[in-house]
Structure 1
Amino acid sequence: MEFRRGILAGLIEGDGHWSHDEQRETYVSAAPDLTMFVRRELEAMDRCPIVRRFENDHAGGWKVRFDPIQHAAPLTVLDVEDIGECDLVDISIEDRAELFLLANGAVTHNCSIGMGYHYRARYECILFFEKGKRKLADLGIADILQAKRINGGYPAEKPPSISETLIRQSTDPGAIVIDPFMGSGSVGVAAIQSERSFWGNDLCVEAVDITRGRLTEAGAREVGDTPKSVPSPQLGLL
C-alpha cells in the first residue's frame, strides 16, 4: 500500500501505444481498466485527476494527470432541499429472478506445462454461474477439463474444445451463445460446431476480422446489419 501510494503521490503520467506488430489489442483492452484504477486511487487521495485520450498516426491511449501538491477543494454545501420520502429500489431484490448465482467452478488442465521459475501452472479456473435449478446435460463430466494449450495463437486464446464442452452442457441446439469479449472467436467456433448461434463483439477491429473469417470457415452464415472493418467504439457479429 505504501509503495503504491508513493508512486501515486508523485507527478504521474500514464500512457502507452498499440501496434499490430507488438502488443496488438492487449493494450487497447487493458488500458481503460488501468486508467480508471489510477483515477479512482487519485480521487481517494483527494486529488483532481484529469483523464484525456490521445491519438496520432501510430499510437493511441489514455493519459492521467494531476497536480501532486494541490488537493481537491473541500465540498461546500450551499443549500439543502427537502424532497420528502421516496422509495429506494434495490435491483438485486426487485429482479432476483434475473440474477445468475455462483454455483461452483471448473478447472481446465493443460497437457503442456507452462514456463516460469516456480511451480509451473498447468491449469486455469472457470467460474460457473447458474440461474434456477436446471441440470447440466451430462452429469458424468467432472470439474477438471483437459485440453492442450494454444501455442502461437491469439492472446489469451482458449481451446475451442473447452468452450464446446461448456456450451453443450448448458444450452440446447439452436440456442444463442454470447461472448462480449470474443477476441479471436474461439467461443464462436465452438458454438457453430455445437449447432448453436453466436453473438459476439470486441473493441479490436482485427479481432472482428479474425472471428468473421474463422466462423465462415466453420460454416457459419453472418446475418443482420453488422459493421465491417471501420473505426468504431464497439464492433459486433451476429
Structure 2
Amino acid sequence: MLPIVRVHSFESMGTFDGPGLRLVVFLQGCNFRCLYCANPDTIARESEKTKHLPGDEILRRALSEKAFFGRRGGVTFSGGEPTLQAQALVPLCQELKKHQIHICIDSNGSVMNEDTRQLFDIVDMVLLDCKQPDAAKHRILTGVHNSVTLKTAEMLAEMGKPIRLRYVVVPGYSDSPADIDLLGHTYSRFSNIERIEVLPYHTYGKHKYEALGWEYKLEGLKEPRAEDIQRIAEQLRGYFSCVWTQ
C-alpha cells in the first residue's frame, strides 16, 4: 500500500493548474501565511475536512479519469504546499509515471531536502509560485523569507525541469514597476521557464476567513484593474518570451 496523503479536496477536469484537463489534488498543510491566500482552510496541517487517503486511492482516481486527460492533461498536486508531503508523494508519483500520467506540482518552492529533490525529479512540470522577488516585501506578504524559493528555481534549472512561474499581482504589495523589474532580473536567466503567469489578486476566498473566524487582513483592498495587469504583463515581456494573463 502506498503511504497516506493528507488531502483537502479534489477538482476534476481542471483547466487552470497545468496543461490540458487535469485532476487537481489539493493537499492539506502550508508553511506560508500569505495575506491573500484563497484557500486558508488548507493552511493547517489538520482540519475537520482533512482526508487521510492512501496513495492507492489517489492513483485509482487518476486512472479512472485518465481517458479525459488526452495528450496534455494529467494530475496536479496543489495545496496548501505539496512538498511538505514529498516523502509520501514520491512513491505515488512513481506509480503515476508507470501509467504515463503527466504530473505537475504547484509549489512555493520553500522546502528543499532529499525528498523534494526526488519529487521534483519525477514530476513533469513545476508551477512555481513567486510571491514577491524582494526579500523584505516577501516576508510582509507571506511571513517567511524567499531565499529557498530562488534556490529551488536554480535547482530546477539545473535539472532542466519545465517551469511555469506564477506571480500574483497584489495592489500595494507586489505591483510596483520596481517589483516587476526585480522579478524579471531575478528569474529571466532561467531558460527552463516556459512562461510566466500574471495572476490578479482576488477576494474569492474571503468568505472562508469568515467561516474560520479569522481576520481578513486585506479588508478593503481592491482587485487590480485589467489595465494594470496588462501594464505589468507588457513590462515582463521585456524579460520573458511568453507572458500569460488570466
TM-score, scaled relative to structure 2: 0.29
Larger radius of gyration: 1
Instruction: Give the structure with the higher percent helix.
Output: 2
Greater RCO structure (CA 8 Å; 6+ sep): 2
TM-score, scaled relative to structure 1: 0.29
